[in-house]
Structure 1
């Protein structure tokens, strides 16, 4: 269930998404509040699960992972235990950055960053070749990144959004 956030909370979230390394005094100036209020509000939003992590975004290319692959996976049988088996194999593979269970033609969509086709081949061999429940997979190689953002557009939640 969404939490109630006021305008100050939203301003704090916008600033923290730009940089969570700001000194509290500067953050307070930017959102027109006191440092103590900012600390208290940010702490509350962490406790409520609004803020889930404070991380540094790393460029995969700096580690030789300049190739992005989106993988659409279709499974043979959608039995819960087989779906869970695939999910577990994905969760234990640290080279898979994102995995979504989806509707449509595919059952799962994965995102991986690799150095080259040889590394990608090793990933698909690990995941798919011994799994008899994989019907097919389709690899989409990204030519160029057009947009990649970790900034969620924070606005006041009214409940009307879910009524549409």
Structure 2
């Protein structure tokens, strides 16, 4: 099973479990680090998640994965918060992040630049508008390689 397919299958299996706990499934990641494979499930809720939330979801997802067995190799399951620099992947992520500081990279340069950081001013489904230090930048959603909240020090 390819890396993409593993994440798709796990997302499909984990979503009802996570939502049943009153949480949001933020992301699923499956990657090899050194000799080991890691399956990471990131969960969140408005007031933030705690160790008990992670433990309940981990136990239930682990049981489901043992039952369905969609991953042929051994792996380590980790369930955690996405952290302060939460990724923005879904339309709701962008909508919820309007007014917050973000960091966005693009696949190809836009006006000679591939990284943009500033306040997310708007999202309309096809474009994000970022207020950078000295300018306002519009970035097409299809050009975005990655987007996340950014911590400002």
Task: Tell me the TM-score range normalised by the shorter chain.
Answer: 0.3 to 0.5
Q: Which has the higher strand share?
A: 2
Q: Which has the higher helix share?
A: 1
Question: How does the TM-score come out when normalised to structure 1?
Answer: 0.32
With structure 2 as the length reference, what TM-score do the two structures score? 0.34
Higher relative contact order (CA 8 A, sep 6+): 1
